[in-house]
Structure 1
Amino acid sequence: MNHDHNGHERPGDALRTVARSKLVMIGFLLVIAYFLWTEHRAHVIQFLPFLLLAACPLMHIFMHGGHRHGHGPDDATKDTNAKGER
């Protein structure tokens, strides 16, 4: 029974492989972003004002929580932590 131990990976090899694959993925994403920006710049720029306007209600809904806290008469009975959040 002869076992060839040269084919087995060491623990550091797996980490290097993961780090290398992340760098390759970032490189591909940068290339894709560059070509999307250069080819579709005119289409994207014309919609930027509308994206800003659309961001306002989305931020209001998701960042303020829909104003469900701090505006009702039964707020004293609800559980709150030290910061006043639920």
Structure 2
Amino acid sequence: MTTAAQMKGLTAVVTGATTGIGAEIANQPAAHGANLVLVARSAEHLEQSAAQLHARHGVDALDLPLDLSGRGSRTASPSNSTRLGSRWTCWSTTRV
């Protein structure tokens, strides 16, 4: 498990990131300086969540609309993820 002190400079991938527990989980790494890749089905909600987290914590938040229940979408990746660095951790509320 990554500690709060180790989060700065990481990019956290958070699935189910727009509502409920997923939205709260996305706050945790962002509050400690980690950039985010937010994954959920709703592109509109993802854009709103990414903008709010960026405004609140000053971190980069990339929105990645995917339905992880389908095998084809699991191979997709953000095309501009290189701007978020090479140190990654994953926080998930979705079983994949």
TM-score bracket, normalised by the shorter chain, equals under 0.3
Counting helix residues as a fraction of each chain, which structure ranks higher? 1
Counting strand residues as a fraction of each chain, which structure ranks higher? 2
State the TM-score, normalized to the length of structure 1: 0.20
Larger Rg: 1
State the TM-score, normalized to the length of structure 2: 0.18
